[in-house]
Amino acid sequence: MRQKLAIARALLHDPAVIFLDEPTSGLDPAAARTVRDFIKELRAEGRTIFLTTHNLPEADELCDQVAIFRSRLLRQGTPASLRDALFGRGTLVRLAGEAAPWRAIAEGLPFARGVELRDGALAVRLDDPEADNPALVRALVAAGAPVRYVEPLAVSLEEVYLQLVQPESEAAL
């Protein structure tokens, strides 16, 4: 109730810019969802909202722009642009059975920028997944790969954060 009251008090004078510090901290899941939905409504009204949070899935859901700090600004951008800048884009190909035997097929494609095994699937880095996916799937199926499904290669905002702060953390050791 205190969090809801604090947000209500902040909105009394109908501000164009709102600063919220950990607005869902300590809330049960239902109340947190209500607060997130309310923040989305405020954003839809054209208000600027500065949100500080350690809840990275929440930041990913609510924020158009993200700034990652660790004593200083490390990186700023949209969640998607931060992911792309650090990890690139790609496709996850789930296969029936082992993925390892099919890795060389994907690596041999001229548009593949890298191939990793991830959770029993092929994670293929591509410059343009929308254009390259059909050829990737055709090559794997032609080689006999039992493709189950294909999905975008997803990287969480937490992985982005850890990638950015890791060099500083290691330097401190």
pLDDT in tens, 82-102: 998 888 899 999 999 999 999
- Integer Rg of the chain from CA: 21
Please state the pTM of the whole predicted model.
Answer: 0.72
Complete domains list, the chain, with CATH: 2-64 (3.40.50.300), 83-157 (3.30.70.920)
Q: Which of 129, 79, 123 is nearest to 103 (CA)?
A: 123
* Helical (H) or strand (E) element with 52: strand 48-52
Question: What sign for the dihedral angle of Cα 94, 131, 85, 21?
Answer: negative
pLDDT in tens, 25-39: 888 899 899 889 989
DSSP 80-108: HHHHHHHH-EEEEEEESS-SGGGHHHHHT
Residue 160 near residue 83 (C-beta atoms within 8 A): yes
